[in-house]
Amino acid sequence: MKFGTKAIHAGVEPDPSTGAIMTPIYQTSTYVQKSPGDHLGYEYSRTHNPTRTALQNSLAALENGKHGICFSSGLGAIDAVIKLFNPGDEIISTNDLYGGTYRLFTKVFEKYGIKFHFVPMADPKSVEEKINENTRMIWAETPTNPMINIVDLKAISAVSKKHNLIFGVDNTFASPYLQNPLDLGADLVMHSVTKYLGGHSDVVMGALIVNDDELAKQLVFIQNACGATPGPQDCFLVLRGIKTLHLRMERHSQNGKTIAAYLKNHPKVANVYWPGFEDHPNHEVAKRQMRDYGGMISFTLIGNKMEDAVKVMESFKLFALAESLGGVESLCGHPATMTHASIPKEEREKVGLVDSLIRLSVGIEDAEDLKNDLANALSKI
């Protein structure tokens, strides 16, 4: 099946008891057994739930994987991945990544003896230089949050395979519509399902998709043993959101192109970060491994004053100032004080995350209205 058909049909079947075309919300905590151990595949809803099973199958199909495993948040999914490792193990991560991931790595798991290295992963050589006998995993985001850097997944996959490492990719900014890391050599794909997969800013969830049976078995064990699982209502909402993923991503990408071009030509804008520009450092990689360039854009202001950034964001009428991204509505955020505030200022500025940086999640509204909203907000400084 092509992607749009998979989004609507893959992993889901009409309800066998009624013929309902939509997967029911199995709002139950437990399941009746005929005899101890004699059941219909479901015992307790932390372990398995039919609504969650349908969603996990759908997500696996979208990423061309075998196993989908859902969690109560994206960080819950990443937490499960790091629990695969032991004290003394080391993980190499990109130096530009979601602040919540950085916080989880450095404030939680470093206390338990796992060491993390943060490197500019756009250059695969920087990864190989950090590998030693304790290295167990490479963790990448692409596009990265919030600097929209692009990581060459095939190149990093070659490094990981050479050294027998797990290669995990946070694919949240791209969604399965724009990019499929498993096809490019990754062992594991993570999504904050909250974002483009849900698509309507009404659910919080995370997911992992893998091909390897043993890796899936370990992660399913952690999912059940640690209990960070989503409820059936949330799974239903994501199943509904997925059915329009391809249509939404087409519009997000179209609008993203329009808004990125507008910002690049604006006299009050210093830098615009969007992988569709030919002068983006890894544009050719993005062109090769992504179907389109998406609706995530970051930009800085001339003069780099935080008060100017705050004034712009306070002046928006359509771009809502809010955490998160990937919804049908356009959002703006200030990474330095919001999503990435947990990263020390000196570390943020090393990757270009300065005080005037504004991150946009371009929605699916009319692009002309979004341009007018930007024009009005930027006129206030």
205, 230 Cβ separation under 8 angstroms:
yes
Question: Active site residue: 79, 96, 152, 170, which one?
Answer: 170
- Rounded Cα gap, residues 289 and 181, in angstroms: 9
- Rounded Cα gap, residues 199 and 324, in angstroms: 11
Nearest CA to 147 out of 336, 274, 281 is that of: 274
Question: Active site residue: 15, 46, 287, 311, which one?
Answer: 46
57, 11 Cβ separation under 8 angstroms:
yes
109, 135 Cβ separation under 8 angstroms:
no
- Rounded Cα gap, residues 368 and 241, in angstroms: 25
Question: Active site residue: 26, 98, 196, 273, which one?
Answer: 98
- Rounded Cα gap, residues 126 and 144, in angstroms: 16
Going 102 to 148 to 296 to 141, the CA torsion angle's sign is negative
Is 195 considered catalytic here? yes
Residue 16: exposure state from Cβ atoms within 10 A (0-12, 13-18, ≥19): exposed
Is 98 considered catalytic here? yes
User: Checking phi first, is residue 297 left (phi over 0); if not, alpha (psi -120 to 50) or beta?
Assistant: beta
End-to-end CA distance of the chain: 50
How far from chain centre, in Å, is Cα 195? 7
Question: Active site residue: 195, 248, 257, 348, which one?
Answer: 195
Is 291 considered catalytic here? no
Is 187 considered catalytic here? no
53, 229 Cβ separation under 8 angstroms:
no
- Rounded Cα gap, residues 208 and 90, in angstroms: 21
Residues with active-site annotation: 46, 98, 170, 195
